[in-house]
């Protein structure tokens, strides 16, 4: 009996959907089902094909918004949180659209800073209407809102869980203790919010 690697499969070779090269069934493709589902010659080709298929953030921003001629705002039409800020999923994580729009236009920025609207329109993602501010400018407003109701909104809870800020910074922004922030992040409270 010859070595296993010389085993020849009867299946005809396939053309890779990404690079077009022919590839054949080999010993690593254990079952017929696996071979039937193979579309790419290699892991690299499969990965590249999927990467190319997902439009870039800037294309998605363009497609998902419309200009508002009177104000010059660019209004995001997709998902939004309950304060009206646009949301976009990128690589499995939820992002605020105006922050993505700012980064696309001006480049990376200090994640502890807030992206604020000159136009006071939460769904606006026109980079000309956006500017960087400190968490304090925005946070005082949020803290007052939170204290008056005593309850976090769903959007606030999600914002805390998705934030890149430290728990101390979040506590300051929302006017609560770091203990509360920690409990929110660990889902000990507001467990139903998701
Ligand atoms: Zn290929
Ligand atoms: Zn605007």
Domain ranges of the chain: 8-53, 55-133, 138-194
Ligand 1 center to residue 48 CA distance, Å? 9
| Contact predicate 139/116, CB 8 Å | no
Q: CA distances (Å), 153 to each of 6, 49, 68, 185, 193, in order?
A: 64, 40, 29, 14, 9
Average pLDDT over the chain, rounded to an integer: 84
> pLDDT confidence of 97, banded at 50, 70, 90?
very high
Nearest of 81, 87, 91 to residue 99 by alpha carbon: 87
Ligand positioned closest to the Cα atom of 14 = 1
Q: Which CATH number fits domain 55-133: 3.40.640.10, 3.30.1330.10, 3.90.75.20, 3.40.50.300?
A: 3.90.75.20
Ligand positioned closest to the Cα atom of 127 = 2
Ligand 1 center to residue 93 CA distance, Å? 29
Q: Does 148 score more than 90 pLDDT? A: no
> pLDDT confidence of 1, banded at 50, 70, 90?
very low
Ligand 2 center to residue 194 CA distance, Å? 29
Ligand positioned closest to the Cα atom of 39 = 1
Helix (H, G, I), strand (E, B) or coil at 93: strand
Ligand 1 center to residue 2 CA distance, Å? 30
Question: Which of the two residues, 110 and 138, has the higher pLDDT score?
Answer: 110
Ligand positioned closest to the Cα atom of 67 = 2
């Amino acid at each position: 009996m010859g070595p296993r690697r010389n085993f020849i499969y009867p299946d005809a070779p396939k053309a890779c959907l990404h690079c077009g090269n022919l590839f054949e069934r080999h010993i690593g493709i254990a079952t017929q089902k696996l071979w039937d589902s193979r579309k790419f010659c290699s892991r690299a080709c499969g990965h590249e094909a999927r990467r190319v298929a997902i439009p870039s953030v800037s294309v998605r921003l363009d497609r998902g918004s419309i200009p508002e001629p009177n104000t010059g705002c660019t209004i995001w039409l997709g998902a939004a949180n309950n304060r009206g800020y646009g949301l976009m999923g990128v690589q499995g994580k939820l992002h605020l659209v105006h922050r993505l729009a700012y980064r696309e236009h001006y480049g990376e920025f200090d994640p502890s800073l807030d992206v604020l609207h000159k136009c006071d329109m939460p769904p606006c993602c026109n980079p000309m209407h956006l500017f960087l501010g400190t968490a304090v400018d925005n946070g005082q407003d949020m803290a007052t809102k939170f204290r008056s109701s005593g309850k976090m909104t769903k959007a606030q809870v999600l914002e805390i869980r998705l934030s890149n800020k430290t728990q101390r910074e979040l506590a300051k922004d929302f006017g609560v203790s770091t203990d509360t922030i920690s409990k929110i992040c660990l889902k000990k409270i507001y467990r139903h919010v998701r």
